[in-house]
Structure 1
Amino acid sequence: MTPPSNQPLCGVCATKLVKNGKTSAGRTRWRCKNCGASATRARTDVTAKAQLKEFIGWLLGKDSQRSADGGTGRSFRARTGWCWQIEVPQPAPTGEVHRQIIVDGTYFQDWCVLIAFDGTHVLGWQWCDHEKKIAWAQLLKRFPAPDVVVTDGGRGLRSAMDQHWPQTRIQRCYFHILAAVRKHTTLNPRLEAGQEILGLTRQLMRVKDLDAAAAWMGSYASWEAQWEALLKQRTFYRPGTDRPRGVGRHRTWWYTHRSLRSVRALYRQLIADDSLFTFLAADLNDEHSPPVARTTSPLEGWPNRAIKDLLRHHKGLTGDHARTAVDWLLNTLTEHPLDPWELAEQHRRRAKDSTPQKPVTEEPLGPEAYGTGITAEDGLWSRKGWAGRG
């Protein structure tokens, strides 16, 4: 960016000023050769640029405000307080069709930020209170439909994809599949059926080709067939029997192994959606392109981790300040980060344009209330003293 101009003009005759030494405070003194006027110039642009650089350095770093100014931090907050008002816009859409987009949401305080990531750069983000269809739709509609989306199966995403990216294939994150299965079976399943399905889930991480995928599908089909009778077992209500969570009082029976049935329902849905082994599809793998991710780890381990680290380094930020801090961070992770000073100049121009102008009043032609004051001839002067007394 071109540095601010340092060629002031005379405020009297608009002639170019020349340097004429310094003041006792160390500021440059300027003099007009035409009319001899002398002046100093306050470089508010240079000062603001230095303050913004200091603010961004602190915000994206690990230092506290105390260490930023070597004191209590009050002077730092006074200098850089205006920087919190700068809005960081979303990256401009380029129209590029991406081969894969990894999406995920991360939570902090009362906010959730949904992030779209191509494996190398952040493509965009969306703020919401929690993952839901309308929030995902606002994010997805900014980009052309990619070939595949890698997701953890967050709520509302599938509905938003059906609306905006109906032809895009899905690859479910293996780590999140394992977490969902472990939630139902625990780390040490009591039943043999639970031990087997947990072991099969762990084997997913070792599937790296189509032959291994076919073998895994065969093992899962065998698991369903072997334990079909077990999964159909029912428990009937008797006085004193505790009802499982989610079973209404009107129910007289429920399935005994509800957790294992939930695992089976999860895998049946994944198989029906064809979202288990999308990363192995032949048309998505060629020698000129990097492999499709099978987990959301690239997003979890970079942008999401960076957000958590940022908020941990600057504990105590208000909700608005935390959102602004995350906006600045995500901007640095885009392919073409926006220049902070250009954003600051836009903010300063908007603030200047929105400043209300002092109304211009017409100067009266004569003295105030001209022609309406009382005179001695009117006999209306206030009477004082002993006048009129005998």
Structure 2
Amino acid sequence: MSLPRNQPRCGVCTSKLVKNGKTSAGRTRWRCKHCGASTTKSRTDITRKAEFDAFQHWLAGTQAQGGYTIPRRTFRHRIRWCWNVAPALTPTGEVHDQIMLDGTYFNGWCVLIAFTGRHVINWQYTDAEKRASWTALLEHIPAPKAAIVDGNGPLQTIVKKHWPTTRIQRCFFHIRQRGNTHLTRNPTLPANKELLALYKALMDVRALDKAAAWTAAFASWEAKWQSFLKHRTYAEKSTIRPAHVSPNQQWWYTHIRTRRAWKLLANLIRDDELFTWLKLAEDGVIISRTTNPLEGGPNKAIKDFLRAHRGLSAPHAVTAITWLLYHRTEHPKDAWQFVKPTDWAEPNKRRIPPRTDTGRSETNALYGTSFSVEDGTGIRKGWGGRSG
């Protein structure tokens, strides 16, 4: 929003005013040459812009409210209208080589973010990562060549539905994290030790020939421990049922955690989601193998902001995070362009009429004209503090 020119007019005859010195407070005095009226003018737009700039500076930093030159309460009072302003994101329709997708939780909310590795494309607020919320985010974004995801089930389903031509790359960091969850960091079984070594070796694969060697080593592990993976435990009276076993189940796999760690890698190889980044590199398309740029970029910025500005209400946190994400888009506009004069307009305060009915007929006639016996201010006897 552009600032108007400093050409005030007379409030009496609407003629243009001219400068006529300054007041004792240093403000410019204006005088009408037509009728002689003198006045001073205040520029509300300039004042509001200064307040909005302070609001934006506070959001972008880690300084406490009012940590500048004014008390906190004064600062909150001045910027209270700034929470009414929110940026509007205009889709560009650009097709990207890669888009990283992830959600982060805060104050009972979840924000889903689409990130190219350098800038934010779009975001969506929801209560949890589910199909409807992922659909609302992806349907406004053209299908990229590759999507880097962390393994969220609803997300992968929606990606395959709305972006059928997009290749999926599972984040290596989350794969390794899942392996540690299933196998622990110090497994005791020989099969688990060998499988954990394969998880660790996966992080060193950086070429297609090494990827083929790793896949062969994983196939050898499957052949070696095939019978081990099929071990079963049958239900008996003295058998303790694990938490994942239903009451009517007659048997279950003994090494369930080993099977989960094995199934994770087997499914990734089957769906061709493990070495997508290497195969696309052969065609000249360079993508990331992890969502670390998103985790260490927008997600970390959100966590750091909420940690520095504790105590925000949920609506204020949503507004602040919206500004934080908008400033990480490719070409953000000046924030002042989203401000309208109606945003800083003071709401009309509803006046509460005085209560004239006290509930007792003998005092209604005296209300507002004399003291009442209910006030306790009638004729008194004695001396306060004196006994006897």
TM-score, normalised by the number of residues in structure 2 = 0.86
The one of 257, 264, 269 aligned to 2:267: 269
Q: Match of 1:386?
A: none
**1:318 correspondence with 2:313:** yes
For 1:219-234, list aligned pairs within 5 A: 219-234=217-232
Deviations 1:222-279 (A, max 9, x none): 1111100001011112222210112111112111011111122212221122110000
CA, structure 1 residues 2+297, in 2 after alignment: closer, same or farther (shift >3 Å)? Answer: same
| Aligned-residue offset at 1:157 | 0.7
Secondary structure of the 2:39 match is strand
Give the aligned partner of residue 115 of structure 1.
Answer: 113
Q: CA deviation at 1:83?
A: 0.7
Deviation at 1:179, TM superposition (A): 0.8
Distance (whole Å) between structure 1 residues aligned to residue 346 and residue 79 of structure 2:
21
Distance 1:214 1:234 in 2: 32
Q: Tell me what 1:362 maps to.
A: none
> How big is the shift at 1:2?
4.4
Equivalent position of 2:357 in the other structure: none
Separation (CA, whole Å) in 2 of partners of 1:282 and 1:88: 36
Query: Offset of 1:180 from its aligned partner?
Result: 0.8
Q: Does 1:341 align with 2:342?
A: no
Contact persistence 2:48–2:344 (CA under 8 A): no
2:208 equivalent in structure 1? 210
Change (3 A) 1:284 1:160: farther
Percent of aligned positions with the same letter in both sequences?
A: 51
Of residues 88, 97, 100, the one that matches 2:98 is 100
**Aligned residue for 2:59?**
59
Residue 332 of structure 2 corresponds to residue 332 of structure 1 = no
**Counterpart Cα distance in 2 of 1:283 and 1:294:** 11
C-alpha spacing 1:337/1:17, structure 2 compared with 1 (3 Å): same
Q: How far apart are the structure 1 equivalents of 2:214 and 2:161?
A: 32
In structure 1, the gaps of 5 or more residues are 357-390
2:35 is aligned with what amino acid? Answer: C
- Paired residue for 2:36? 36
- Give the drift of 1:120: 0.7
Match of 1:138 among 126, 133, 136: 136
Q: Contact between 1:21 and 1:28, CA under 8 Å: does it hold in 2?
A: yes
Residue of structure 1 equivalent to 2:298: 303
C-alpha separation in 1, matches of 2:121 and 2:280: 26
**What's the offset of the Cα at 1:163?**
2.5
CA deviations over 1:111-168 (Å, ceiling 9, x no partner): 1111111111111111111111111111111111000001101231122113311111
Any conservation in 2 of the 1:133–1:155 contact (CA below 8 Å)? no
Distance 2:347 2:302 in 1: 33
What is the one-letter code of the residue matched to 2:287? V
Residue 247 (structure 1) aligns with: 245
Amino acid in the other structure paired with 2:186: N
CA-to-partner distance for each residue in 1:163-187, whole Å, 9 max, x for gaps? Answer: 3111111000001001111111111
Give the letter for the 2:279 counterpart.
Answer: A
Distance 1:164 1:254 in 2: 37
Structure 2: where are the runs of 5+ without partners?
Answer: 350-388
Quote the offset at 1:3 in angstroms.
Answer: 3.8
Residue 151 of structure 2 corresponds to 153
After TM superposition, give the deviation of residue 40 of structure 1 in Å.
1.6
Q: 1:353 to 1:308 in 2, by over 3 A?
A: closer
Note closer, same or farther for the CA distance 1:354–1:284 as it changes in structure 2 (3 Å cut).
farther
SS in 2 for 1:124: strand
Q: Which residue of 2 aligns with 1:238?
A: 236
- The structural deviation recorded for 1:351 is 7.2
Does structure 2 conserve the Cα–Cα contact (< 8 Å) formed by 1:12 and 1:37?
A: yes
Structure 1 CA distance for aligned equivalents of residues 27 and 66 of structure 2 = 28
Alpha-carbon shift at residue 4 of structure 1 (Å): 3.4
Map 1:5-84; keep pairs closer than 5 Å. 5-71=5-71, 73-84=72-83
Deviation at residue 355 of structure 1 after TM alignment? 8.0
Shift, 1:352, TM fit = 6.2
Distance 1:150 1:132 in 2: 17
Alignment CA distance shift 1:66-1:282 (3 Å): closer
Does the CA-based 8 Å contact 2:281-2:287 persist in structure 1? no
Q: 1:294 aligns with which of 289, 293, 300?
A: 289
Q: Which amino acid aligns with 2:86?
A: E
C-alpha separation in 2, matches of 1:57 and 1:261: 51
Q: Report how far residue 9 of structure 1 moved.
A: 1.8
Q: How many residues align?
A: 349
Whether the 8 Å CA contact 2:3–2:45 is kept in 1: the answer is no
CA contact (8 A) 2:66 2:74 kept: no
Q: Once the 2 structures are TM-superposed, how far is the Cα of residue 282 of structure 1 from its aligned partner?
A: 4.4
The structural deviation recorded for 1:70 is 4.2
Partner Cα separation in structure 2 for residue 20 and residue 282 of structure 1: 72
The residue type equivalent to 1:82 in the other structure is W
Per-residue deviation, residues 31-56 of structure 1 (Å, max 9, x unmatched): 12122222221211000000001111
1:86 aligns with 2:81: no
The structure-2 alpha-carbon separation of the partners of 1:319 and 1:182, relative to structure 1 and needing over 3 Å to count, comes to same
